[in-house]
Amino acid sequence: MRLGNDNIAVLLLGSGLQGVSVAYSLYKIDCEVYVYSSDFAFKHCRWIRELTLFDLTVGELCRYIKDKRIDLIIPMSDKHAIWLSQNKYDIQTLIKVKCAIPDYDTVAIASSKSDLMELCEVNQLPVPRTRKVTLHNILSASSFVGFPALIKPDHSVGARGVTKISNLDDLKKKLQLIIQKYGSCSLQEWIDNREFYFNVMLYRYADGSFSPTVIIKITRFYPLGGGSSCFCKTTKEPILEDICKKILNLLDWNGFADVDVLYDKEEHQFKVIEINPRVPASIRSADIAGVNFPQIIICDLLGIPCKPMDYKVGMYLRYFGLDFMWFLKSKNRFKVKPSWFKFFGDQLFYQDLYRSNIKFSLCLLGSNVLKLFR
């Protein structure tokens, strides 16, 4: 689908693999893509018009928007999503542009792991047993949550600071250091499912309706104890979809949401662990399954009609650079199904390899492999 004769200019705040996927989705609908990043690999990407970097202040951003006639800003990372939500009102007041991020009051609840878990618990939505933990309530928090458990900073990027603990002595030893480094923390039950987890992507409109929901089942991830997707498959899980929609309705969410979900095999229940207001690295799985979320975002915020999109299950997405690390470390390297050695197929796509842009793909692959060994 093309959006019209006038090309829409979109600025991506940040890059990473999600930046690659979003840039490609925008390129397919004739958008002009600008990327705020220092990632050298993007210099070889023919899907973007310009790679830029400047002091990220409201003033500098507004000057760049005016100069390049940017219509829309989409954040690619946690830190850029939070910054944009905090400054959204000022930016949209000073200059004609749309920020693809919910208001900060909403983002603040979602980005605080303890606040989100409390909201879900009060409304009887399934989440892991969780309690705010301090040096003064260790006994009561650990008594409710049990062991093993995770110490989780309320505000951190990715899995930074998340620490598994086995007993009370372990908790006492590690909690103070984590609080000193990351601030307030929660104690959360450890759900032992190293076989798979789920990621749910959906867009909630201001009127409370939803876009098609994309759910991926992630069956290979790195690090092995719990990390980013190496290999996933699009699927349908009506119960899980309903849970995620109920949470976004409670938050009165407006925009794109990325929800991480574990499956508790002992209790036979999905348990939501996190909501991210920015697109995930695996957003390409939605694109190959027929759902172009960047297009949905543009159409909603700029008031452009959006044609219905048909979601396809059974599409596979592989992050080859990370999957190679999985192969080196996993004891299941020769047992996994589909086979690790299946490299081609009509329903198999790559997160870091694009046949239409080989030079960029090689640069991207090299850049990501180097990051893994740092």
- For residues 43 and 58, the answer to whether their CB atoms sit within 8 Å is no
Task: Provide the pLDDT for residue 227.
Answer: 80
Q: Which of 161-165, 296-300, 322-326 has the lowest mean pLDDT?
A: 161-165
Q: What is the mean pLDDT of residues 219-241?
A: 92
Spatial separation of the C-alpha atoms in residues 123 and 117, rounded to whole Å:
10
Give percent of the chain above pLDDT 90.
Answer: 76
pTM of the model: 0.91
pLDDT level of residue 372 (50, 70, 90 thresholds): low
pLDDT of residue 207 exceeding 80, the answer is yes
Query: What single-letter DSSP state applies at residue 7?
Result: P
Task: Give how far Cα 96 sits from Cα of 48, 70, 332, Å.
Answer: 22, 9, 53
Which residues 6+ apart lie within 8 Å of 21 measured at CB? 279, 281, 283, 284, 287, 351
Query: What single-letter DSSP state applies at residue 46?
Result: T
Spatial separation of the C-alpha atoms in residues 215 and 67, rounded to whole Å:
38
Give percent of the chain above pLDDT 70.
Answer: 94
Neighbours of 235 (CB within 10 A): 15
Classify the phi-psi angles of 229: left when phi > 0, otherwise alpha if psi is within -120 to 50, otherwise beta.
beta
Domains, the chain, with CATH or none: 9-103 (3.40.50.20), 129-189 (3.30.1490.20), 197-372 (3.30.470.20)
Per-residue pLDDT tens over the stretch 107-142: 999 988 889 999 999 999 999 999 999 999 999 999
Q: Which of 68-82, 182-196, 256-270 has the lowest mean pLDDT?
A: 182-196
Per-residue pLDDT tens over the stretch 136-150: 999 999 999 999 999
Task: Give how far Cα 254 sits from Cα of 101, 209, 235, 309, Å.
Answer: 8, 10, 24, 19
pLDDT level of residue 4 (50, 70, 90 thresholds): low
Q: What is the mean pLDDT of residues 339-354?
A: 93
Spatial separation of the C-alpha atoms in residues 286 and 293, rounded to whole Å:
7
pLDDT of residue 5 exceeding 50, the answer is no
Task: Provide the pLDDT for residue 86.
Answer: 97
- For residues 198 and 213, the answer to whether their CB atoms sit within 8 Å is no
